[in-house]
A and B are shown apart, each in its own frame.
Chain A
Amino acid sequence: MVKVYLPALGENITKATVSYWYFGDGAAVIEGNDLVEIVTDKATFNVPSPCSGVLVEIMAHEGDVCEVGDVLAVIEKEGGDDAESEEE
């Protein structure tokens, strides 16, 4: 399983709001493609999928305010990698 984190967005930015999921639970996702849009102030930021696989669980829903480093979703990596891994 690969966790998707809210990435660092700048020196004084500690929080951001989840504004739009491009996919729902159970969807196939591709590494590097837009996964979720987050917003802070007047800026939107697209978080890409860290790997190809299946979006197993969305942890932060649209409208939720998250802190940098929070887990946004969990992806089951393509190829059945059993090892727990964490990618940002």
Chain B
Amino acid sequence: MFECRLLDLGTIDYLKAFLVQKDVVAKVIAGQAPDTLITCEHPHVITLSRRSKIENLLVSQGELKKWGVGIFCANRGGDVTYHGPGQIVLYPIFDLKHDKKDLHLYLRKLEQAVIDTLRENFGLNAYRKNGLTGVWVGPYKVASIGIGVKNWVSYHGLSLNVCADKRYFSFIKSCGLDVKMASINDFFDDNVSVKTVRDLLVESMGKIFSFTSLENRVL
């Protein structure tokens, strides 16, 4: 077991959250901060990676501006991704030297935290697909994952759709795949809140990664 600080940034611009991540990564590498699990929601934004294919952006930048969607190029793995209200985002800043130094194992553990959250609390038959990264329910993808690792300290992470506005996913070819996206609330009549899912997901992360959490420690 290790102690993990939880840092809930609430709703925060992608760039601001990225700068917080950068700061925490530097401190974890320097041994000046404990492993940290950042949680947040972002205003509408589309993020690209260095390997993103521009054709996976399906509308013009003018159209995105009209809808109030920002664009940001991120230093993570994966292709084009949308973040927005109604989606919980986790950025685990974990020193993977404490675990096995294995990038794929780490990706599978992130997926497992989402799968356990959805199966155990909502009875959803969540699963992963061989050869792909992310979490699906039925034919729909509900969680996307893209990470970066520096000095074996992780950054970026995962997003899970709780009650996201589907129209925004139509602006991109998510992760470069022909995939339909859905939110947890699409499978229920009652609305589940982002806060509820955040708490359950943090609990699952604690079990999968064996940490005890220190809520909202000051940076």
The answer to whether B149 has its CB under 8 Å from any CB of chain A is: yes
| Size category, A interface | 20 to 34
Please give the residue numbers on chain A whose beta carbons come within 8 Å of chain B beta carbons, in ascending order: 8-13, 17, 19-20, 34, 37, 39-46, 48
Nearest A residue to B103 by beta-carbon distance? Answer: A43
Q: Whose C-beta in chain B lies nearest to the C-beta of A8?
A: B101
Whether B104 and A40, one on each chain, are in contact in the complex, defined by CB atoms closer than 8 angstroms, is yes
Which of B51, B103, B148, B149 has its CB near the most chain A CB atoms (within 10 A)?
B103
Chain B contact residue count (CB 8 A cutoff)? 23
Measured CB to CB, the closest approach of chain B to A80, in angstroms, equals 28
Interface: B44 (CB within 8 A): no
Complex interface bits, B79-116 against A, C-beta within 8 A gives 1, otherwise 0: 00000000000000000000011111111000000000
Interface of A is mostly: strand
A44 and B105 within 8 A (CB): no
Stretch among B70-78, B117-125, B195-203 lining the A interface: B70-78
Q: Are B103 and A10 within 8 A (Cβ)?
A: yes
12 example contacts (A-B, Cβ-Cβ < 8 A) are as follows A8-B101, A9-B102, A10-B104, A13-B103, A13-B104, A34-B150, A37-B50, A37-B75, A39-B50, A42-B76, A42-B146, A44-B49
Residues A42 and B78 in contact, CB atoms below 8 Å apart = yes
Q: Is B61 an interface residue (CB 8 A)?
A: no
Cβ of A41 and Cβ of B75 under 8 Å apart?
A: no
Q: Does B4 contact A (CB under 8 A)?
A: no
Determine if A11 and B103 form an interchain contact, defined as CB atoms under 8 angstroms apart: no
Tell me whether B147 is interfacial, beta carbon within 8 Å: yes
